[in-house]
C-alpha cells in the first residue's frame, strides 16, 4: 500500500491564504489542457459536449442535470471554448465565470424539452436550431470545414448538422474524453480525498443517532444534514438495516425501526465535492456482532483487501478480478444465477471521478474476456459483500493507483466491524 508523506492528506474546505489546499484554478486549467491535448491528437476540428461531466471537465461549470441538452459546450482544436446554457444560467455564468468568454443562449434540441413538446415539428425545430447555434459558432471560429465530434450519438442531431453542411460523427469524442479523464490530476485526487472525509462525518453521525427505535430515515436524514453542512452535494446514498441489508440491499431508506442485533448498512454513493463523486460503504452492528455477522464481515474485508493488493500500474483487470469471489463465493445459488454478468455490482471495482462509474471497471463478469491495463493516477472504488444469516455486510474503499500499489483515500476503520453501543 502507498505510504503518504508527512502532512499529505485532507485539509479544510474553505479558501485560505496561509495553506496550500485544492487549487480550483489549477484544477480547471489542467482538466481543460488534458481535454485539448487529446482532442488535438485526433482529426477533429472541434468537439461538442452534451454530457454534464464532460462539460464540467472542460469548463468548470457545476452541471447538475437539466431538461436535456439545455446546456452544451464546444471545444475547438485551437483551444476556444463556447458554452450555451439556459437564459438564467447563462447570465449568471457571464457574471461569475470570467474564465469563459463566450457564453450563449442554448436551444434544447435533445432530451425532455423536445420530448414534452408533443409535436414532431417542434422537435425538428429544436434540434435544427440547436445545430444552427453550433454551426454558426464553428463558422465564427474557423472550423466549420473540419469534422465535428459529438459525445452523444443522436441520429436527429447528426442529420441536422449534415443538413447544415457540417461533417459530424459520434465515435471519436467518447474515447477522447475517456482518455482525458481516466488519469486524475493532483487536485482531482484531493477532491476525492475530501469527499471521503465528508462521508466519514456522515458515518459518525449515524453512529450517534442509531439506537433501537430509531428509523432508517432518521439515520439517513441526520447523515444528509451533516454532509450538506460540511460542503457536500448529496446526489445519492441510503441507509438500510436488518433484513433490508441482504440480499444485496433494499436500495431505499425505509421507515423500518432499528432493533438490537441488527446490522446497519450505510451506502454513500454519489456524494460529491466540487463534482467528484464518492462510492464508500460501511456496515455497523447494533451492539456486539453475532458470530455469523463477525464471520461475514471478515470474509468481505479479506476479499476486498485481496483485490486491493493486486492493483498496481501495469496489472490488468483480468488478473485483478481473480481476487473477487467465484460463483460459490458470490452465493449464486441464492440468486439462481449461472454467470458472473448476472451479478452486477455485488463484487467489483469501478472508476471514480466526476461520475460514479468511470474507467477502469474490474469485474469477473467482464474483465476476463475484455481486460484493460491499470495506470498510475486512476481512482476507483472497490466493493465486496457477504451474507450473515438473514442480513448482510458490505465494505468498500476509495483508492488512487500510485507507482507501487494503491493509496487508500477512505479512512473509516475497516479491520473490525464498527459496533454501535446504545
In tens, the pLDDT along 222-254 reads 999 999 999 999 999 999 999 999 876 678 999
Among the three residues 151, 180, 209, which one is the final residue of a domain in this structure?
180
Helical H runs in 73-185?
87-96, 112-117, 120-140, 155-163, 173-182
Q: pLDDT grade, residue 67 (50/70/90)?
A: low
* pLDDT mean across residues, the chain: 94
Type and span of the H or E element at 196: helix 186-209
Among the three residues 134, 164, 180, which one is the final residue of a domain in this structure?
180
pLDDT at 7 over 70: no
Q: Could you tell me if 383 and 406 lie in one domain?
A: yes
Q: Could you tell me if 132 and 218 lie in one domain?
A: no
- How many structural domains does the chain have? 2
- 3-state DSSP assignment of residue 211: coil
Q: CA dihedral in degrees (208, 213, 218, 219; nearest 10)?
A: 40
Q: For residues 420 and 229, what is the distance between their CA atoms, to the nearest angstrom?
A: 23
Contact 360, 348 (CB under 8 A): no
Single pTM value for the model: 0.95
Residue 402 belongs to a domain with what CATH number? 3.90.230.10
Look up the domain containing 190 and give its range: 183-420
Q: What percent of the chain has pLDDT over 70?
A: 96
DSSP β-bridge partners for residue 388: 391
User: Does 7 fall in a domain?
Assistant: no
Q: Could you tell me if 111 and 241 lie in one domain?
A: no
How do residues 306-342 score in pLDDT, each as one tens digit? 999 999 999 999 999 999 999 999 999 999 999 999 9
User: Does 19 fall in a domain?
Assistant: no
Half-sphere exposure of 97 (CA within 13 A, CB side): 20
Q: Could you tell me if 242 and 336 lie in one domain?
A: yes
Amino acid at each position: 500500500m502507498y505510504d503518504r508523506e508527512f502532512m499529505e492528506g485532507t485539509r479544510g474546505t474553505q479558501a485560505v491564504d496561509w495553506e496550500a489546499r485544492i487549487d480550483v484554478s489549477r484544477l480547471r486549467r489542467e482538466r481543460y489542457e488534458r481535454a485539448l491535448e487529446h482532442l488535438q491528437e485526433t482529426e477533429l476540428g472541434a468537439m461538442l459536449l452534451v454530457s454534464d461531466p464532460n462539460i464540467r471537465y472542460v469548463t468548470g461549470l457545476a452541471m447538475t442535470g437539466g431538461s436535456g441538452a439545455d446546456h452544451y459546450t464546444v471545444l475547438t482544436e485551437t483551444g476556444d471554448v463556447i458554452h450555451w446554457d439556459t437564459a438564467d444560467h447563462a447570465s449568471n455564468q457571464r457574471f461569475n465565470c470570467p474564465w469563459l468568454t463566450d457564453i450563449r443562449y442554448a436551444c434544447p434540441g435533445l432530451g425532455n424539452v423536445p420530448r414534452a413538446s408533443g409535436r414532431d415539428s417542434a422537435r425538428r425545430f429544436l434540434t435544427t436550431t440547436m445545430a444552427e447555434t453550433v454551426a454558426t459558432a464553428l463558422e465564427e471560429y474557423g472550423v466549420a470545414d473540419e469534422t465535428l465530434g459529438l459525445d452523444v450519438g443522436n441520429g436527429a442531431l447528426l442529420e441536422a448538422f449534415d443538413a447544415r453542411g457540417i461533417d459530424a460523427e459520434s465515435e471519436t469524442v467518447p474515447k477522447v474524453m475517456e482518455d482525458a479523464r481516466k488519469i486524475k490530476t493532483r487536485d482531482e485526487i484531493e477532491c476525492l480525498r475530501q469527499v471521503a472525509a465528508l462521508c466519514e462525518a456522515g458515518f459518525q453521525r449515524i453512529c450517534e443517532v442509531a439506537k433501537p427505535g430509531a428509523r432508517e430515515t432518521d439515520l439517513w436524514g441526520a447523515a444528509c444534514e451533516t454532509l450538506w453542512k460540511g460542503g457536500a452535494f448529496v446526489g445519492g446514498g441510503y441507509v438500510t438495516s436488518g433484513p433490508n441489508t441482504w440480499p444485496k440491499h433494499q436500495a431505499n431508506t425505509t421507515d423500518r425501526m432499528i432493533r438490537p442485533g441488527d446490522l446497519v448498512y450505510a451506502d454513500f454513493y454519489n456524494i460529491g465535492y466540487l463534482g467528484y463523486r464518492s462510492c464508500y460503504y460501511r456496515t455497523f452492528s447494533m451492539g456486539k456482532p453475532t458470530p455469523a455477522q463477525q464471520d461475514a464481515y471478515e470474509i468481505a474485508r479479506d476479499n476486498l483487501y485481496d483485490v486491493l493488493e493486486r492493483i498496481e500500474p501495469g496489472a490488468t483487470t483480468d488478473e485483478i478480478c481473480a481476487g473477487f469471489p467465484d460463483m460459490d463465493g458470490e452465493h449464486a445459488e441464492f440468486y439462481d444465477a449461472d454467470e458472473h454478468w448476472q451479478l452486477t455490482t455485488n463484487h467489483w471495482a469501478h472508476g471514480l471521478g466526476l461520475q460514479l462509474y468511470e474507467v477502469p471497471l474490474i469485474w469477473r463478469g467482464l474483465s476476463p474476456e475484455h481486460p484493460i491495463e491499470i495506470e498510475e493516477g486512476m481512482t476507483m472504488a472497490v466493493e465486496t459483500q457477504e451474507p450473515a444469516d438473514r442480513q448482510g455486510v458490505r465494505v468498500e474503499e476509495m483508492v488512487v493507483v500510485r507507482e507501487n500499489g494503491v493509496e487508500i483515500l477512505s479512512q473509516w476503520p475497516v479491520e473490525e466491524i464498527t459496533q454501535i453501543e446504545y
